[in-house]
Structure 1
Amino acid sequence: MFPELDSTWLICALVLFLGCTIQAAVGFGMAIVAAPVMVILKPEWVPYILAVSAFVVSLSGAWQQRAAIQWRAMTPAFITRLPGTIVGTWLLLIMSVSVLQITVAAMVLLTVVVSLWLKPFPANATNLGIAGFVSGITGTTTSIGGPPMALVMQHGSAVTARANLSVYFVYSCIISLIGYQLAGLLNSSTLLVSLTMVPIALLGFGAGKQLQRHVDNRFRPILLTVCSLSAGFALINTISEQF
Protein backbone atom coordinates (compact mmCIF):
# COMPACT_ATOMS: atom_id res chain seq x y z
CA MET A 1 0.00 0.00 0.00
CA PHE A 2 1.32 3.44 -0.91
CA PRO A 3 2.38 5.38 2.23
CA GLU A 4 0.31 8.36 3.35
CA LEU A 5 1.98 11.69 2.57
CA ASP A 6 0.87 13.50 5.74
CA SER A 7 2.32 16.46 7.66
CA THR A 8 4.96 14.26 9.29
CA TRP A 9 6.16 13.13 5.87
CA LEU A 10 6.25 16.74 4.68
CA ILE A 11 8.40 17.87 7.63
CA CYS A 12 10.76 14.93 7.15
CA ALA A 13 10.91 15.69 3.43
CA LEU A 14 11.81 19.31 4.15
CA VAL A 15 14.70 18.49 6.51
CA LEU A 16 15.84 15.78 4.13
CA PHE A 17 15.89 18.31 1.29
CA LEU A 18 18.03 20.67 3.37
CA GLY A 19 20.34 17.83 4.39
CA CYS A 20 20.75 16.63 0.81
CA THR A 21 21.52 20.19 -0.26
CA ILE A 22 24.38 20.33 2.26
CA GLN A 23 25.63 16.91 1.24
CA ALA A 24 25.66 17.84 -2.45
CA ALA A 25 27.43 21.13 -1.77
CA VAL A 26 30.09 19.87 0.65
CA GLY A 27 30.25 16.11 0.07
CA PHE A 28 28.67 14.92 3.33
CA GLY A 29 26.47 16.19 6.17
CA MET A 30 22.93 15.12 5.28
CA ALA A 31 22.35 13.37 8.62
CA ILE A 32 23.28 16.50 10.58
CA VAL A 33 20.04 18.17 9.49
CA ALA A 34 17.74 15.23 8.81
CA ALA A 35 18.52 12.68 11.53
CA PRO A 36 17.70 14.80 14.66
CA VAL A 37 14.23 15.65 13.31
CA MET A 38 13.43 12.23 11.86
CA VAL A 39 14.47 10.36 14.99
CA ILE A 40 11.87 12.38 16.93
CA LEU A 41 9.00 12.26 14.42
CA LYS A 42 9.58 8.84 12.82
CA PRO A 43 12.35 6.87 14.55
CA GLU A 44 11.38 3.75 12.60
CA TRP A 45 12.47 5.51 9.39
CA VAL A 46 16.03 6.03 10.67
CA PRO A 47 18.53 5.05 9.33
CA TYR A 48 16.88 3.41 6.33
CA ILE A 49 15.51 6.51 4.60
CA LEU A 50 18.79 8.31 5.27
CA ALA A 51 20.75 5.47 3.67
CA VAL A 52 18.56 5.42 0.55
CA SER A 53 18.64 9.21 0.21
CA ALA A 54 22.40 9.38 0.82
CA PHE A 55 22.88 6.72 -1.85
CA VAL A 56 20.88 8.76 -4.38
CA VAL A 57 22.70 12.03 -3.62
CA SER A 58 26.14 10.39 -3.48
CA LEU A 59 25.58 8.50 -6.73
CA SER A 60 24.49 11.73 -8.42
CA GLY A 61 27.54 13.53 -7.04
CA ALA A 62 29.92 10.77 -8.04
CA TRP A 63 28.55 10.79 -11.58
CA GLN A 64 28.67 14.59 -11.83
CA GLN A 65 32.33 14.69 -10.71
CA ARG A 66 33.43 11.27 -11.97
CA ALA A 67 36.49 12.71 -13.72
CA ALA A 68 37.89 13.89 -10.36
CA ILE A 69 37.52 10.56 -8.51
CA GLN A 70 40.87 9.13 -7.38
CA TRP A 71 40.02 5.44 -7.72
CA ARG A 72 43.50 4.15 -6.89
CA ALA A 73 43.78 6.23 -3.72
CA MET A 74 40.21 5.38 -2.60
CA THR A 75 40.61 1.60 -2.97
CA PRO A 76 42.20 1.15 0.51
CA ALA A 77 39.27 3.05 2.06
CA PHE A 78 36.83 0.69 0.32
CA ILE A 79 38.73 -2.30 1.70
CA THR A 80 39.18 -1.04 5.26
CA ARG A 81 35.53 0.04 5.51
CA LEU A 82 34.58 -3.65 5.85
CA PRO A 83 36.72 -4.55 8.90
CA GLY A 84 35.78 -1.16 10.37
CA THR A 85 32.13 -2.16 10.11
CA ILE A 86 32.86 -5.48 11.82
CA VAL A 87 34.73 -3.77 14.67
CA GLY A 88 31.92 -1.24 15.00
CA THR A 89 29.37 -4.03 15.28
CA TRP A 90 31.50 -5.75 17.94
CA LEU A 91 31.75 -2.50 19.91
CA LEU A 92 27.96 -2.18 19.82
CA LEU A 93 27.75 -5.57 21.50
CA ILE A 94 30.14 -4.78 24.35
CA MET A 95 29.66 -1.04 24.94
CA SER A 96 26.62 1.15 25.51
CA VAL A 97 25.53 3.30 22.58
CA SER A 98 25.74 6.46 24.69
CA VAL A 99 29.38 5.83 25.61
CA LEU A 100 30.23 5.18 21.97
CA GLN A 101 28.46 8.32 20.79
CA ILE A 102 30.19 10.53 23.35
CA THR A 103 33.58 8.96 22.58
CA VAL A 104 33.24 9.33 18.80
CA ALA A 105 31.85 12.88 19.02
CA ALA A 106 34.65 13.95 21.37
CA MET A 107 37.26 12.39 19.07
CA VAL A 108 35.89 14.24 16.03
CA LEU A 109 35.84 17.58 17.87
CA LEU A 110 39.37 17.01 19.15
CA THR A 111 40.57 16.11 15.66
CA VAL A 112 39.03 19.28 14.22
CA VAL A 113 40.77 21.43 16.86
CA VAL A 114 44.11 19.68 16.45
CA SER A 115 43.94 19.82 12.63
CA LEU A 116 43.79 23.61 12.79
CA TRP A 117 47.38 23.62 14.08
CA LEU A 118 48.81 20.56 12.34
CA LYS A 119 50.77 20.76 9.12
CA PRO A 120 48.78 19.72 6.04
CA PHE A 121 48.84 15.96 5.53
CA PRO A 122 48.19 14.25 2.18
CA ALA A 123 45.03 12.35 1.33
CA ASN A 124 47.12 9.40 0.18
CA ALA A 125 46.26 5.70 0.14
CA THR A 126 47.57 5.09 3.66
CA ASN A 127 45.69 7.95 5.31
CA LEU A 128 42.51 7.19 3.37
CA GLY A 129 42.78 3.54 4.37
CA ILE A 130 42.99 4.52 8.03
CA ALA A 131 40.10 6.95 7.60
CA GLY A 132 38.02 4.26 5.90
CA PHE A 133 38.56 1.91 8.83
CA VAL A 134 37.67 4.59 11.41
CA SER A 135 34.68 5.66 9.30
CA GLY A 136 33.45 2.07 9.28
CA ILE A 137 33.59 2.01 13.08
CA THR A 138 32.01 5.43 13.66
CA GLY A 139 29.43 5.01 10.91
CA THR A 140 28.29 1.67 12.31
CA THR A 141 28.19 2.73 15.95
CA THR A 142 26.92 6.30 15.76
CA SER A 143 26.05 7.05 12.08
CA ILE A 144 28.88 9.63 12.02
CA GLY A 145 30.77 8.18 9.09
CA GLY A 146 31.60 11.34 7.19
CA PRO A 147 34.02 13.32 9.41
CA PRO A 148 36.91 10.77 9.47
CA MET A 149 37.05 10.73 5.66
CA ALA A 150 36.43 14.46 5.29
CA LEU A 151 39.14 15.43 7.78
CA VAL A 152 41.74 13.49 5.78
CA MET A 153 40.63 15.26 2.59
CA GLN A 154 40.43 18.77 4.04
CA HIS A 155 43.66 20.00 2.43
CA GLY A 156 42.81 18.80 -1.08
CA SER A 157 40.80 20.56 -3.74
CA ALA A 158 37.08 20.90 -3.15
CA VAL A 159 36.15 19.12 -6.38
CA THR A 160 38.40 16.11 -5.69
CA ALA A 161 37.31 15.82 -2.06
CA ARG A 162 33.64 16.01 -2.98
CA ALA A 163 34.06 13.43 -5.75
CA ASN A 164 35.97 11.01 -3.50
CA LEU A 165 33.50 11.44 -0.63
CA SER A 166 30.59 10.82 -3.00
CA VAL A 167 31.95 7.56 -4.39
CA TYR A 168 32.92 6.41 -0.88
CA PHE A 169 29.39 7.00 0.40
CA VAL A 170 27.88 5.20 -2.60
CA TYR A 171 29.92 2.18 -1.54
CA SER A 172 29.10 2.62 2.16
CA CYS A 173 25.36 2.97 1.51
CA ILE A 174 25.33 -0.20 -0.60
CA ILE A 175 27.00 -2.10 2.27
CA SER A 176 24.50 -0.69 4.77
CA LEU A 177 21.44 -1.39 2.61
CA ILE A 178 22.57 -4.97 1.95
CA GLY A 179 23.09 -5.42 5.68
CA TYR A 180 19.61 -4.06 6.48
CA GLN A 181 18.06 -6.38 3.92
CA LEU A 182 19.92 -9.45 5.16
CA ALA A 183 18.93 -8.62 8.74
CA GLY A 184 15.29 -8.24 7.72
CA LEU A 185 15.20 -4.59 8.84
CA LEU A 186 14.24 -3.03 5.51
CA ASN A 187 10.60 -4.07 5.15
CA SER A 188 8.30 -3.21 2.25
CA SER A 189 6.64 -0.32 4.11
CA THR A 190 9.94 1.37 4.96
CA LEU A 191 11.21 0.79 1.43
CA LEU A 192 8.12 2.46 -0.05
CA VAL A 193 8.53 5.53 2.16
CA SER A 194 12.23 5.64 1.23
CA LEU A 195 11.32 5.62 -2.46
CA THR A 196 8.90 8.55 -1.98
CA MET A 197 11.89 10.53 -0.66
CA VAL A 198 14.04 9.89 -3.75
CA PRO A 199 12.62 12.90 -5.69
CA ILE A 200 13.26 15.05 -2.60
CA ALA A 201 16.86 13.82 -2.49
CA LEU A 202 17.30 14.64 -6.18
CA LEU A 203 15.88 18.14 -5.65
CA GLY A 204 18.31 18.62 -2.76
CA PHE A 205 21.17 17.49 -4.96
CA GLY A 206 20.14 20.00 -7.60
CA ALA A 207 20.07 22.82 -5.05
CA GLY A 208 23.41 21.79 -3.56
CA LYS A 209 24.98 21.60 -7.00
CA GLN A 210 24.22 25.29 -7.48
CA LEU A 211 26.03 26.08 -4.22
CA GLN A 212 29.21 24.15 -5.03
CA ARG A 213 31.01 27.06 -6.67
CA HIS A 214 30.39 29.20 -3.58
CA VAL A 215 31.55 26.43 -1.24
CA ASP A 216 34.73 25.82 -3.24
CA ASN A 217 36.23 29.16 -2.24
CA ARG A 218 35.84 28.43 1.47
CA PHE A 219 35.91 24.64 1.37
CA ARG A 220 38.18 23.84 4.32
CA PRO A 221 36.48 26.08 6.93
CA ILE A 222 33.06 24.90 5.78
CA LEU A 223 34.17 21.27 5.92
CA LEU A 224 35.57 21.69 9.45
CA THR A 225 32.37 23.46 10.51
CA VAL A 226 30.20 20.61 9.21
CA CYS A 227 32.43 18.09 11.02
CA SER A 228 32.08 20.05 14.25
CA LEU A 229 28.30 20.35 13.88
CA SER A 230 28.05 16.62 13.18
CA ALA A 231 29.93 15.76 16.36
CA GLY A 232 28.14 18.46 18.34
CA PHE A 233 24.69 17.20 17.39
CA ALA A 234 25.66 13.64 18.33
CA LEU A 235 27.02 14.84 21.68
CA ILE A 236 23.95 16.94 22.51
CA ASN A 237 21.59 14.15 21.42
CA THR A 238 23.39 11.61 23.61
CA ILE A 239 23.45 13.87 26.66
CA SER A 240 19.76 14.80 26.25
CA GLU A 241 18.81 11.12 26.16
CA GLN A 242 20.31 10.68 29.63
CA PHE A 243 17.82 13.13 31.17
Structure 2
Amino acid sequence: MTTWPVILGLGFTLLAGAFVQSSIGFGLAVVAAPFVVTFAPELMPGSLLVTSFSLPVLQLLHAEADIAWRSLTWSVAGRLLLTPLGVAAVALLSVRSISIGVAMLILVTVAASLTSWQVRNTPVTAVGAGGLAGISGTATSIGGPFLALVLQHERPERLRATLAAFFLLGAVISMVSLGLVGEFTRHQLLAGLTWVPFVLLGYAVAAPLRARLSHSHLRSAVLGFCALAGAGILIRALIF
Protein backbone atom coordinates (compact mmCIF):
# COMPACT_ATOMS: atom_id res chain seq x y z
CA MET A 1 0.00 0.00 0.00
CA THR A 2 1.29 3.47 -0.89
CA THR A 3 2.66 5.43 2.08
CA TRP A 4 1.26 8.85 2.95
CA PRO A 5 4.53 10.74 2.23
CA VAL A 6 4.37 9.42 -1.34
CA ILE A 7 0.69 10.37 -1.62
CA LEU A 8 1.43 13.89 -0.39
CA GLY A 9 4.35 14.19 -2.80
CA LEU A 10 2.10 13.18 -5.69
CA GLY A 11 -0.22 15.98 -4.65
CA PHE A 12 2.09 18.46 -6.38
CA THR A 13 1.48 16.73 -9.71
CA LEU A 14 -2.24 17.26 -9.06
CA LEU A 15 -1.52 20.94 -8.42
CA ALA A 16 0.21 21.19 -11.80
CA GLY A 17 -2.59 19.28 -13.51
CA ALA A 18 -5.26 21.49 -11.94
CA PHE A 19 -3.37 24.56 -13.20
CA VAL A 20 -3.43 23.20 -16.74
CA GLN A 21 -7.07 22.09 -16.63
CA SER A 22 -8.22 25.38 -15.14
CA SER A 23 -6.56 27.16 -18.05
CA ILE A 24 -7.48 25.09 -21.12
CA GLY A 25 -10.37 22.97 -19.85
CA PHE A 26 -8.68 19.60 -19.32
CA GLY A 27 -5.33 18.14 -18.30
CA LEU A 28 -5.62 17.22 -14.62
CA ALA A 29 -5.33 13.48 -15.15
CA VAL A 30 -3.08 13.81 -18.20
CA VAL A 31 -0.42 15.54 -16.10
CA ALA A 32 -0.82 13.50 -12.92
CA ALA A 33 -1.62 9.99 -14.18
CA PRO A 34 1.90 9.11 -15.45
CA PHE A 35 3.33 9.92 -11.99
CA VAL A 36 0.58 8.15 -10.06
CA VAL A 37 0.80 5.01 -12.19
CA THR A 38 4.60 4.97 -11.71
CA PHE A 39 4.80 5.56 -7.95
CA ALA A 40 1.38 4.36 -6.75
CA PRO A 41 -0.25 2.14 -9.38
CA GLU A 42 -2.73 0.70 -6.89
CA LEU A 43 -4.33 4.15 -6.62
CA MET A 44 -5.30 4.10 -10.31
CA PRO A 45 -7.80 5.06 -11.52
CA GLY A 46 -10.04 5.68 -8.51
CA SER A 47 -7.99 8.33 -6.73
CA LEU A 48 -7.74 10.50 -9.85
CA LEU A 49 -11.46 10.10 -10.51
CA VAL A 50 -12.10 11.65 -7.08
CA THR A 51 -10.08 14.71 -8.05
CA SER A 52 -11.72 14.68 -11.50
CA PHE A 53 -14.99 15.14 -9.60
CA SER A 54 -13.82 17.93 -7.29
CA LEU A 55 -12.29 20.37 -9.78
CA PRO A 56 -15.32 20.57 -12.12
CA VAL A 57 -17.55 21.38 -9.14
CA LEU A 58 -15.28 24.33 -8.33
CA GLN A 59 -15.14 25.43 -11.97
CA LEU A 60 -18.91 25.39 -12.39
CA LEU A 61 -19.49 27.25 -9.11
CA HIS A 62 -17.02 30.03 -9.86
CA ALA A 63 -17.37 30.46 -13.62
CA GLU A 64 -20.11 31.31 -16.07
CA ALA A 65 -22.17 28.18 -16.80
CA ASP A 66 -21.87 28.63 -20.57
CA ILE A 67 -22.42 24.96 -21.41
CA ALA A 68 -22.93 23.53 -24.90
CA TRP A 69 -25.87 21.40 -23.77
CA ARG A 70 -26.37 19.47 -27.01
CA SER A 71 -22.73 18.40 -27.13
CA LEU A 72 -22.79 17.56 -23.43
CA THR A 73 -25.92 15.42 -23.79
CA TRP A 74 -24.54 13.41 -26.71
CA SER A 75 -21.11 12.95 -25.11
CA VAL A 76 -22.61 11.75 -21.80
CA ALA A 77 -24.78 9.29 -23.75
CA GLY A 78 -21.63 7.93 -25.40
CA ARG A 79 -19.87 7.68 -22.05
CA LEU A 80 -22.76 5.80 -20.48
CA LEU A 81 -22.79 3.39 -23.39
CA LEU A 82 -19.10 2.45 -23.33
CA THR A 83 -18.12 2.85 -19.68
CA PRO A 84 -18.63 -0.92 -19.10
CA LEU A 85 -15.76 -1.51 -21.56
CA GLY A 86 -13.56 0.73 -19.43
CA VAL A 87 -14.48 -1.27 -16.33
CA ALA A 88 -13.65 -4.50 -18.18
CA ALA A 89 -10.30 -3.02 -19.25
CA VAL A 90 -9.40 -2.24 -15.62
CA ALA A 91 -10.22 -5.80 -14.62
CA LEU A 92 -8.61 -7.61 -17.55
CA LEU A 93 -5.80 -5.52 -19.08
CA SER A 94 -2.48 -4.20 -17.82
CA VAL A 95 -2.00 -0.48 -17.25
CA ARG A 96 0.67 -0.53 -19.97
CA SER A 97 -1.71 -1.93 -22.58
CA ILE A 98 -4.43 0.55 -21.70
CA SER A 99 -1.97 3.47 -21.77
CA ILE A 100 -0.68 2.57 -25.24
CA GLY A 101 -4.20 2.36 -26.62
CA VAL A 102 -5.22 5.72 -25.12
CA ALA A 103 -2.05 7.42 -26.38
CA MET A 104 -2.55 6.18 -29.92
CA LEU A 105 -6.16 7.35 -29.96
CA ILE A 106 -5.15 10.83 -28.77
CA LEU A 107 -2.37 11.19 -31.36
CA VAL A 108 -4.57 9.99 -34.24
CA THR A 109 -7.29 12.44 -33.21
CA VAL A 110 -4.83 15.35 -33.07
CA ALA A 111 -3.36 14.41 -36.45
CA ALA A 112 -6.83 14.29 -37.98
CA SER A 113 -7.62 17.72 -36.56
CA LEU A 114 -4.54 19.23 -38.22
CA THR A 115 -5.38 17.94 -41.69
CA SER A 116 -7.93 19.34 -44.12
CA TRP A 117 -10.48 17.10 -42.40
CA GLN A 118 -11.30 18.95 -39.20
CA VAL A 119 -12.89 17.43 -36.11
CA ARG A 120 -16.21 19.26 -35.94
CA ASN A 121 -18.71 19.49 -33.12
CA THR A 122 -21.58 17.26 -34.27
CA PRO A 123 -23.76 14.67 -32.49
CA VAL A 124 -21.68 11.89 -34.07
CA THR A 125 -18.31 13.27 -32.95
CA ALA A 126 -19.69 14.13 -29.50
CA VAL A 127 -21.01 10.59 -28.99
CA GLY A 128 -17.71 9.18 -30.25
CA ALA A 129 -15.67 11.40 -27.92
CA GLY A 130 -17.90 10.50 -25.00
CA GLY A 131 -17.63 6.82 -25.80
CA LEU A 132 -13.84 6.93 -25.99
CA ALA A 133 -13.78 8.86 -22.72
CA GLY A 134 -16.03 6.20 -21.20
CA ILE A 135 -13.36 3.61 -21.93
CA SER A 136 -10.16 5.57 -21.32
CA GLY A 137 -11.55 7.79 -18.57
CA THR A 138 -12.71 4.78 -16.56
CA ALA A 139 -9.58 2.73 -17.23
CA THR A 140 -6.95 5.46 -16.82
CA SER A 141 -8.87 8.58 -15.65
CA ILE A 142 -7.76 10.27 -18.91
CA GLY A 143 -10.76 11.12 -21.07
CA GLY A 144 -10.60 14.86 -21.64
CA PRO A 145 -8.55 15.12 -24.86
CA PHE A 146 -11.25 13.52 -27.02
CA LEU A 147 -14.09 15.91 -26.17
CA ALA A 148 -11.66 18.84 -25.98
CA LEU A 149 -10.75 18.25 -29.62
CA VAL A 150 -14.42 18.13 -30.59
CA LEU A 151 -14.99 21.44 -28.78
CA GLN A 152 -11.78 23.13 -29.92
CA HIS A 153 -13.63 25.75 -32.02
CA GLU A 154 -15.88 26.86 -29.15
CA ARG A 155 -15.31 29.99 -27.07
CA PRO A 156 -12.87 29.43 -24.15
CA GLU A 157 -15.62 29.91 -21.53
CA ARG A 158 -17.94 27.45 -23.26
CA LEU A 159 -15.21 24.85 -23.79
CA ARG A 160 -14.14 24.96 -20.14
CA ALA A 161 -17.71 24.90 -18.80
CA THR A 162 -18.83 22.04 -21.06
CA LEU A 163 -15.77 19.95 -20.22
CA ALA A 164 -16.26 20.64 -16.49
CA ALA A 165 -19.86 19.38 -16.65
CA PHE A 166 -18.75 16.34 -18.67
CA PHE A 167 -15.98 15.50 -16.19
CA LEU A 168 -18.36 15.88 -13.26
CA LEU A 169 -20.94 13.50 -14.69
CA GLY A 170 -18.31 11.17 -16.14
CA ALA A 171 -16.42 10.84 -12.87
CA VAL A 172 -19.62 9.87 -11.06
CA ILE A 173 -20.46 7.28 -13.73
CA SER A 174 -16.97 5.78 -13.63
CA MET A 175 -16.66 5.70 -9.83
CA VAL A 176 -20.05 4.03 -9.42
CA SER A 177 -19.26 1.50 -12.16
CA LEU A 178 -15.85 0.63 -10.68
CA GLY A 179 -17.34 0.44 -7.20
CA LEU A 180 -19.95 -2.07 -8.31
CA VAL A 181 -17.23 -4.52 -9.41
CA GLY A 182 -14.91 -3.87 -6.44
CA GLU A 183 -12.29 -1.86 -8.35
CA PHE A 184 -12.76 1.39 -6.37
CA THR A 185 -11.13 1.06 -2.94
CA ARG A 186 -11.25 3.02 0.30
CA HIS A 187 -7.52 3.76 -0.02
CA GLN A 188 -8.12 5.29 -3.45
CA LEU A 189 -10.93 7.42 -2.05
CA LEU A 190 -8.82 8.72 0.85
CA ALA A 191 -5.86 9.49 -1.42
CA GLY A 192 -8.12 11.39 -3.82
CA LEU A 193 -9.61 13.43 -0.98
CA THR A 194 -6.09 14.21 0.27
CA TRP A 195 -5.27 15.69 -3.14
CA VAL A 196 -8.28 18.03 -3.23
CA PRO A 197 -6.44 20.94 -1.47
CA PHE A 198 -3.66 20.70 -4.08
CA VAL A 199 -6.31 20.88 -6.81
CA LEU A 200 -7.88 23.96 -5.23
CA LEU A 201 -4.49 25.68 -5.08
CA GLY A 202 -3.79 24.88 -8.74
CA TYR A 203 -7.16 26.36 -9.71
CA ALA A 204 -6.43 29.58 -7.79
CA VAL A 205 -2.95 30.00 -9.28
CA ALA A 206 -4.32 29.62 -12.84
CA ALA A 207 -6.80 32.52 -12.51
CA PRO A 208 -4.61 35.17 -14.23
CA LEU A 209 -3.92 32.89 -17.22
CA ARG A 210 -7.61 32.06 -17.74
CA ALA A 211 -8.39 35.72 -18.29
CA ARG A 212 -5.72 36.08 -20.99
CA LEU A 213 -6.48 33.05 -23.20
CA SER A 214 -8.11 34.06 -26.49
CA HIS A 215 -10.01 31.65 -28.78
CA SER A 216 -7.05 31.13 -31.14
CA HIS A 217 -4.59 30.69 -28.29
CA LEU A 218 -6.91 28.24 -26.57
CA ARG A 219 -7.24 26.07 -29.68
CA SER A 220 -3.45 26.01 -30.12
CA ALA A 221 -3.02 25.14 -26.45
CA VAL A 222 -5.58 22.32 -26.66
CA LEU A 223 -3.98 20.78 -29.77
CA GLY A 224 -0.44 21.21 -28.47
CA PHE A 225 -1.19 19.78 -25.06
CA CYS A 226 -3.10 16.85 -26.56
CA ALA A 227 -0.09 16.02 -28.74
CA LEU A 228 2.31 16.26 -25.80
CA ALA A 229 -0.02 14.20 -23.63
CA GLY A 230 -0.36 11.44 -26.20
CA ALA A 231 3.38 11.31 -26.87
CA GLY A 232 4.23 11.36 -23.17
CA ILE A 233 1.80 8.56 -22.30
CA LEU A 234 3.06 6.45 -25.22
CA ILE A 235 6.76 6.94 -24.39
CA ARG A 236 6.21 6.14 -20.75
CA ALA A 237 4.24 2.99 -21.56
CA LEU A 238 6.89 1.75 -24.00
CA ILE A 239 9.92 2.48 -21.80
CA PHE A 240 8.77 1.63 -18.28
TM-score (norm 1): 0.85
What SS does the corresponding residue of 1:144 show, helix, strand or coil?
A: coil
Q: Mean alpha-carbon deviation: is it higher for 114-123 or for 174-183?
A: 114-123
Instruction: Percent identity, please.
Output: 33
Runs of 5+ in structure 1 lacking a partner? none
Runs of 5+ in structure 2 lacking a partner? none
2:234 is matched with: 235
Alignment of 1:25-64 (within 5 A): 25-64=23-62
Distance 1:22 1:124 in 2: 26
2:220 is matched with: 221
1:113 is matched with: 111
Question: Over alpha carbons, which structure has the higher Rg?
Answer: 1
CA RMSD of aligned residues (A): 2.5
1:192 is matched with: 190
Q: Mean alpha-carbon deviation: is it higher for 131-140 or for 148-157?
A: 131-140
Number of equivalenced pairs: 238
Distance 1:100 1:4 in 2: 25
Q: Mean alpha-carbon deviation: is it higher for 172-181 or for 94-103?
A: 94-103
Distance 1:120 1:205 in 2: 31
What SS does the corresponding residue of 1:68 show, helix, strand or coil?
A: coil
Alignment of 1:1-243 (within 5 A): 5-6=4-5, 8-90=6-88, 98-118=96-116, 120=118, 122-216=120-214, 218-241=217-240
What SS does the corresponding residue of 2:224 show, helix, strand or coil?
A: helix
What is the Cα deviation at residue 219 of structure 1? 0.3
TM-score (norm 2): 0.86
What is the Cα deviation at residue 240 of structure 1? 1.4
- Asked if the contact 2:137/2:174 (under 8 Å) is kept, the reply is no
Distance 2:168 2:88 in 1: 24
Q: Mean alpha-carbon deviation: is it higher for 159-168 or for 114-123?
A: 114-123
Deviations along 1:48-81, one digit per CA (max 9) or x if unpaired, are: 2211111111121123334301223311111111
- Asked if the contact 1:38/1:46 (under 8 Å) is kept, the reply is yes
Distance 2:37 2:94 in 1: 19
